[in-house]
Amino acid sequence: MVKIAPSILSADFCNLEADIRRVSAADWLHVDVMDGMFVPNITIGVPVVASIRKHTEMFLDVHLMVDKPARYIDRFCKAGADLLSVHLEADHPARIADALRAMGANGVKRAVALRPITSARAILPYIEELDMVLVMTVEPGFGGQKFMESQLETIREVRALIDRYNPSCELEVDGGVGPANAKTVAEAGATVLVAGSAVYGAADPAAAIAALRNAG
Ligand code: DX5
Ligand code: ZN
């Protein structure tokens, strides 16, 4: 059964504790960190992750949409992240490898993320050290965008590489996922579905989480 990771990008940041409690039936909590450089939007940073950690036991899946993320790995680990994703497009390969090593040294799960333009094969240099690959199905930066059907092929290609080189690695899909496409995304090979607007836009977030899980 797929895991569901609601994205707090669609939460009310003035009522974050209550909005995290509303999704406590989920498997993970997805935290979108944006720096205004790697993506045009600015969201939250290290202090907010540290505050979230004090208020929930949920698994914190922190998606770093920041330039040169190796600079921040230790700080996000100490803030209480359980898993960090760094974008392959955000730095040179040697620095991405440094970022993954820093996660491992801190005992935090290691993931790389792919923008829609990036091919599945870009994960090959890292695949054996990864706990997760994140495939974006929208251009990163904003919640509430339309799912890019063309990314289903990338999901299938990443699934094939994971099956071949590191079968226990999770495959997370992020962007425009909802009840209409959860089954297709899971069938393409996803094991974790991020959902922002589909969960927080629902009248009953717990029911929306259960429906996504059953669909997948
Ligand atoms: C987009 C973020 C996503 C976003 C998903 O850059 O990485 O996690 O919050 O939101 P929805 O599910 O609304 O597309
Ligand atoms: Zn995300």
Chain mean pLDDT for the chain: 98
pLDDT of residue 95: 98
Alpha helices in the chain (DSSP H): 16-21, 46-55, 73-79, 93-105, 151-165, 182-188, 197-200, 205-215
- Ligand 2 centroid from CA 78, angstroms: 20
Q: Which of 46, 55, 47, 50 is nearest to 15 (CA)?
A: 55
Task: Provide the 10 A C-beta neighbour count for residue 37.
Answer: 12
Q: Assess contact for 66 and 41: CB atoms under 8 A.
A: no
- Ligand 2 centroid from CA 31, angstroms: 7
* 178 CB within 6 A, ligand 1: no
- Counting as low any pLDDT under 70, the low residues of the chain are none
Q: Residue 204: exposed, middle, or buried by beta-carbon count in 10 A (0-12, 13-18, 19+)?
A: exposed
Report the alpha-carbon distance of residue 42 to residue 71 in Å, rounded: 17
Q: Look up the pTM and report it.
A: 0.98
pLDDT of residue 216: 81
pLDDT of residue 94: 98
pLDDT of residue 167: 98
Mutate to test the pocket of ligand 1, among 39, 41, 145, 172 (most ligand atoms within 8 A of CB): 145
Report the alpha-carbon distance of residue 82 to residue 67 in Å, rounded: 21
Sheet holding 170-174, edge to edge: 3-6, 192-195, 170-174, 132-136, 109-114, 83-87, 59-65, 28-34
Residues designated as active site: 32, 174
Per DSSP, 62 falls in state E
